[in-house]
Structure 1
Amino acid sequence: MLPERSDHLLQSLLENPAFRSWAQGQCPADDAVWKQWALAHENGSEILREAAGIARAVPVRDAHLTDEYINQRISDALQIARRQEQRHENRKRDAFFPMFLSRWNVAASLLIVAGLCFAIFRIYHHTKPLATAPGMENSRSPFIEVSNMERAFKYVQLPDGSSVVLHRSGTLKYPQAFNGTKREVYLTGEAFFEVTKNPDQPFFVYAGEVTAKVHGTSFSIKAIADEKEITVAVKTGKVSVFTEKASPALLLTCNQQATFERAHAKLVRSALKSPVLLNIPIENQEFTYSETPAAEVFEALGKAYGVNIAFDRPSLAHCSITATLGDEPLENKLKWLCTILEARYTIAQDSITITGNPCN
C-alpha cells in the first residue's frame, strides 16, 4: 500500500489522459516519458505500477466515475468470481490441498478486483473531475498547468513560441509539445494571447463552454467559472468563436468581441472602441518606436508582458531603435530587436537576459 502522501500523485496519474492511454498499451512510444516521471518522484516506480494496474483493470472513459458505475463493476467482478468457484466445485477434486488452494485463488482474485474498484472510487468520488475539452483525451503529450495566484499578470511562453499573459487567479493547461494537427490549450480565468501563425496547425483555446479558433492574432478571453458571461475580445487578426450550446459560430475581427450568456446559452457579437477587456497594459499598447532608446523599449516590453528584462545598460546606452513590432509574440519581438542591435537573448521562465556589443 502506498503512503498517504503519495495519493495525490496516484490521483494525478489516473486523471491524466496521456498516462491512461500509455498504461492501456496505446502509446508505447511514451515509455521513456513515464520512466523519467518515476525517477523524478519519491516512490515513483511503485506509484506508476499501481496506477498502471488500476488503469488496465478498470478502464476510465470519463473523467468522473459515478457510484452506479463502481457498484456495477464490483457486481460484475463478484459474478465472475462466483462462476469460477462453481466450476471448481463441479470438478469435485479428491485432493483436499489443491481444492483448498483453488478456493483461496478465487477469494484472492475477488479481493484484488474489489480493491481496485474501491481505489478508483476513493480517488474519483472525492475529487473534482478534470475538465476534458475536445482533444484533451487524445493528446499523447503530458500537460503542463500554470496558475497565477500572486501577480497582477504573468507571462507564459507556449511550445510554439506563442505568448500568453495570464491574469491573476487564472490557470492555463497546455501540452509539452503541440503534436498532431491542432494546437490546443485550456483556460480558466482571464488571459491575453499572441498566437504564432501556422495555417497547417490551427490554434484552439477552450475556455468553459466557449471555444476560440485562432487564425494567427492577438486577443483576450475572460472565462471566470462563477460569472454569468464568457467574453472574447480581438485586438488584431481574426478569431472564430463557437460553443456547443449556441449556433452559428461568430467570426470576430479587429475591435470586435463575442459574449456568451450562460443563462440563455446565447452568443452575441458587438463592436468595441478598443479591445481592452482585462485592463492590462498589453491590450492597448502599441509597439511602434522611432529612434527610441533601447532601454526604454526593453522597459516597455517588460511592463507589457510582466517579465523582468535584464540588459547591460552601459553597453546599450547609445543604442536606439526604429521599428514597428505589431502583434507578434514576445519571442518574435525579441528576435527583431536583437537583429537590429546585433545582440542575443535568453529566456528562462519569466526572466529575459539580453547581451550584445556597444553601439557606436
Structure 2
Amino acid sequence: MLHDQPGHLLQSLLENPTFRCWAEGRCAEDGAVWQKWAAEHEDGQAILRQAVEIVRAIPVRDEHLTEEYIQSKVSDALQAAKRQEQLENSRKKDSFFPVFLSGWNVAASLLIVAGLGFALFRIYHHAHPAPKVVQTSPPANALKEVANMERPFKYVQLPDGSSVVLHRNSTLKYPRAFTGQKREVYLTGEAFFEVTKNPEQPFFVYAEELVAKVHGTSFSIKAIADEKEITVAVKTGKVSVFSERASPTLLLTCNQQATFERSHAKFVRSALKSPVLLNIPIENQEFNYSETPAAAVFDALAKAYGVNMVFDRNSLAHCSITATLGDEPLENKLKWLCTILEAKYTITEDSITITGNPCN
C-alpha cells in the first residue's frame, strides 16, 4: 500500500482532469480505476470520497458561479466532512489506541483544510481573474462550442467526419481534433448523430447525467437541462447508455429508446415504431434513389441536414442518381454522390458547394 500525505493526495486528485471527469459523472466507466487507486493508498477511500464531495460541491467547469454560491457549497462540504469525522471518532472510542493517533483523524483534518484551501483558491480566482494572455491560436485540446439559437436545426461536422444535426436552443462542445483514446463530445439540448465507425477510438456523448457510448450508428438525444427526463432513440446500429446515478448499462439497438428518469435515477427501455424523437426530417428519412435528378438529391440532403447546398442547377439538369445511402455521415454520402457524378465538394461552416462538369 502506498503512503503519502493525505493533503498531497487530495490535491493531486483535484488537479487531475481524468478524476474530475469521473467525479462529475461524465466518465462513469472509469470507476474501477479510481477504486483501485483508493485501495493502493492509505486512507484512500476517505480521500477519494472527500475529493468527490469537493468536486461536486464546486463545479470547476462553471465559470458563472457567484462567490456566495461557492462559499455555501464549501460550508456544506465542510459540515459533511466534520460529521463523518465525528462518526469515525465515536467508533474508535473503545479502541486500544488513543483517538488522536488515528490515521483517519489526521487524514480527515488535512482533507478539510485542503478542501477549504482549494475552495478559497477558486473563490480568489473568481474575484481576481488572471490577466488575459493573447494567443495567436487556441490550445490544441481546447473545446470548440457551436450553439444553434435561431434556426430550426443546424448541421455540424465533427473532426472525424461524423455528422451532428443540432436542434434549436442546443449547444455542442467538442475538441478541434480527436487525439486521445476516446472521441468525446458534450451536448446540452437536442441533436441527431451519425457517427463515423472507429472501434479503436470509441465515441462518447455526455448529455447532462447521461452518457452514450456509440458503436458507429445513428441516433437522437434529448437532454434539456430543466426537463425531468433525458432520452436516447436509436435509428440504426447500437448505443450503450449509462449514468453514475443508475445501473446497469443499457444496450439499445435499432428502433429502441431509453429514458433516464432524473428524479428516480433509473432507465426505462421502450420499443419504437419509428425512431422519431426530435421531429426533424433526418430521423425517419430514407436516402433511396432510382434515376432521381441530381438536383433533387442535393435538395433532399440540404433539407435533412439543415445545411445550404450550392450547385449549378443547369449543369446538373441532365444528371440522375441511382443509389441507396444508409446511416453514414453526410460527408460519406457526398463522396459517393460526387464519385457517381465525377464532381467535387467543398464544406464550409455555413454551406456545401458542389462543382463538376455537365452530364451528357
**Same fold, judged at TM 0.5 (above):** yes
Instruction: Indicate the residue corresponding to 1:235 in structure 2.
Output: 235
Instruction: Indicate the residue corresponding to 2:245 in structure 1.
Output: 245
The answer as to 2:149 corresponding to 1:122 is: no
Instruction: Indicate the residue corresponding to 2:47 in structure 1.
Output: none
Instruction: Indicate the residue corresponding to 1:145 in structure 2.
Output: 145
Amino acid at match of 1:67: Q
Please give the alpha-carbon distance, in whole angstroms, between the structure 1 residues aligned to 2:73 and 2:291. Answer: 68
Q: Give the Å deviation of 1:140.
A: 6.0
Gaps of at least 5 residues in structure 1 are: 1-16, 19-59, 72-114, 125-138
8 Å contact kept, 1:293–1:317: yes
Please give the alpha-carbon distance, in whole angstroms, between the structure 1 residues aligned to 2:123 and 2:262. Answer: 36
Count of aligned residue pairs for this structure pair = 246
Please give the alpha-carbon distance, in whole angstroms, between the structure 1 residues aligned to 2:166 and 2:128. Answer: 30
Instruction: Indicate the residue corresponding to 1:274 in structure 2.
Output: 274
Q: Give the Å deviation of 1:121.
A: 3.4
- Go from structure 1 to structure 2 and tell me whether the alpha carbon gap of 1:117 and 1:264 turns closer, same or farther (over 3 Å shift): closer
Q: Give the Å deviation of 1:315.
A: 1.1
Instruction: Indicate the residue corresponding to 1:318 in structure 2.
Output: 318
Please give the alpha-carbon distance, in whole angstroms, between the structure 2 residues aligned to 1:277 and 1:123. Answer: 44
8 Å contact kept, 1:70–1:117: no
Instruction: Indicate the residue corresponding to 2:298 in structure 1.
Output: 298
- Go from structure 1 to structure 2 and tell me whether the alpha carbon gap of 1:316 and 1:212 turns closer, same or farther (over 3 Å shift): same
Deviation sequence 1:101-132 (CA, Å, 0-9, x none): xxxxxxxxxxxxxx9876413269xxxxxxxx
Q: Give the Å deviation of 1:61.
A: 9.4
Amino acid at match of 1:309: M
SS at match of 2:314: helix
Matches within 5 A, 1:155-166: 155-166=155-166
8 Å contact kept, 2:140–2:176: no
Matches within 5 A, 1:46-57: none
Instruction: Indicate the residue corresponding to 1:174 in structure 2.
Output: 174
Please give the alpha-carbon distance, in whole angstroms, between the structure 2 residues aligned to 1:208 and 1:118. Answer: 25
Please give the alpha-carbon distance, in whole angstroms, between the structure 2 residues aligned to 1:117 and 1:231. Answer: 34
The answer as to 2:193 corresponding to 1:186 is: no
- Go from structure 1 to structure 2 and tell me whether the alpha carbon gap of 1:334 and 1:123 turns closer, same or farther (over 3 Å shift): farther
Instruction: Indicate the residue corresponding to 1:353 in structure 2.
Output: 353
What TM-score, normalized to structure 1? 0.65
Amino acid at match of 1:347: I
Please give the alpha-carbon distance, in whole angstroms, between the structure 2 residues aligned to 1:291 and 1:185. Answer: 38
- Deviating beyond 4 angstroms after TM superposition, the runs of 4 or more aligned structure 1 residues are 68-71, 115-119
- Go from structure 1 to structure 2 and tell me whether the alpha carbon gap of 1:194 and 1:122 turns closer, same or farther (over 3 Å shift): same
Q: What do you get for the CA RMSD once the two structures are aligned?
A: 2.4
Instruction: Indicate the residue corresponding to 2:334 in structure 1.
Output: 334
Please give the alpha-carbon distance, in whole angstroms, between the structure 2 residues aligned to 1:142 and 1:122. Answer: 24
Amino acid at match of 1:291: E
8 Å contact kept, 2:229–2:260: yes
Instruction: Indicate the residue corresponding to 2:107 in structure 1.
Output: none
Instruction: Indicate the residue corresponding to 1:132 in structure 2.
Output: none
Amino acid at match of 1:359: C
Amino acid at match of 2:71: D
Amino acid at match of 1:122: A
What TM-score, normalized to structure 2? 0.65
Q: Give the Å deviation of 1:218.
A: 0.2
Structure of greater Rg: 1
8 Å contact kept, 1:142–1:175: yes
The answer as to 2:71 corresponding to 1:67 is: yes
Deviation sequence 1:157-216 (CA, Å, 0-9, x none): 000000000000000000000011100000000000000000000000000000000000
- Go from structure 1 to structure 2 and tell me whether the alpha carbon gap of 1:149 and 1:117 turns closer, same or farther (over 3 Å shift): closer
Q: Give the Å deviation of 1:63.
A: 3.9
Q: Give the Å deviation of 1:274.
A: 0.1
Deviation sequence 1:212-242 (CA, Å, 0-9, x none): 0000000000000000100000000000000
